[in-house]
Structure 1
Amino acid sequence: MDDEKEFLAHYDASKYERPSVTADIVIFTIDEDNELNVLLIKRGGHPYKDHWAIPGGFLEAGKESIDEAAARELYEETGVKVSDSIDLRQLVTVGSPNRDPRTHVVSVVYTALVPKGLLHIKAGDDAKEAKLFKIRKGYDENGDLSLYFVGDKCSITLKNLAFDHDELIITALKRLRGRLNYTDDAFTLLKDKSRFDILELLRVHEAILFQQLDKSNFRRMFLRDYVGKHRVKELGQYEQEGKRKTTLYKYLGSEYDF
């Protein structure tokens, strides 16, 4: 122990170059049109000034963990705290030496699935704007399938995003779509997972998959895999405002905690 104390007392951290570290977050939600949205911020300074990007910021080294940095950034941009049972999950770590023109930046990228009712969007100190954009499928100049983003006043293509954020959004979306088959991620995007109907859950799946699903097949799957396995509870039939009576359900929890 004395040897280690002596070593640490004289250790020179400057012997090794240290990259900057950021926590970046791909934030997904479902809007009133039942479309999948992503939160983007317009950068207020260089590099990529006036370009849109996913929210994020630098780690306050020695003061917080990378998970704490991500939670802080999420709160600063959306007003949502991780303690609100929001699913903030590490997605990928990227560290190509040329991905940021300022210096070597390693980014730990997260995804957050947030019901829109909880969002209180505001631009952080280094951003001009923060907005939700609908995610749409399209085709690039080569005719290959691509994505673009539609806001209330502008549209953005993948190549218009700052840094490598086009790749990060695609990675996050692929992960979200893939997880639908073996997790309960879709419930996190419900407006109220303690009181919902099958159609609302169907619309979430369709928004993530960018395709219409057969209602009868989805209902059979829901009753078999969720009601039958006690992952949701039937609350009974209720008459909702402006609608006919429908059966409502409450989400109880997932058997998949990863």
Structure 2
Amino acid sequence: MFLNRWSYTLAGCLLSQLCMASTLHIDPRGESFYQQAVPYLQQANSKLEAVPANTPTASAEEKKRSWALIDEAGELLKPAITLLEQAAALDHPVAQYRLGLIYVMLYPSEVIKEKACPLFEKSLAHGLAPPALEISSWCVAYSGTPLYQTALQATETSMPIYEKYFPQPVVRLECKREQPEGLAMQWGSSRDFQAEIYRLQGNSNRAQRSEYYQKALDINDCYGVKRRMGDRQ
């Protein structure tokens, strides 16, 4: 599979413990931009949570209220996007992830591959676990590479570095039964995302599948793994 120059550089970086350690440094300016964006993201999420799940079949009046909430969330996301873009340009892994998630919400699949996938890949390369899930859904060309598998393995040692940034949202968690309200995403703790990483590793690694699946079950009784194991019985 074709890998561009950036991918080759990143592959070498991932194989070097010294390089991995350096990628975990977060620029203070990037951190400042990210933290300024967080209140806007939280307020936008609250608006989206208030949008009823039955909006498509609701009455005209209820649809009007829902669209008003969606518009309000969109206005809150505008300053958040500007701040996240500034943080992402300074290589802030969490900002890269959150900006990619917004692109997933706003754009069709072909644009997601162009705009969001590079952000997710860079974020995961820094050891942040959540983008691994979005990559598995949207960035298929990358998710099938050894580089992706190496990045998945690296998240386990990097997880404590990012503990203060959790919980984090994601489109869908396979290891949690709780469903999001309205148009909001699901939120997971660092342990939830570690279970998801083990699930992803088990899905792609037949030789160690049972071992990875058991680790996911041990963390939060991952129902996605239990369902998959049940389907094979």
Fold similarity call, TM over 0.5: no
- Answer 1 or 2: which has greater helix percent: 2
Give the structure-1-normalised TM-score. 0.27
Looking at CA atoms only, which structure, 1 or 2, has the larger radius of gyration?
1
- TM-score, L = length of structure 2: 0.29
Higher strand residue share: 1
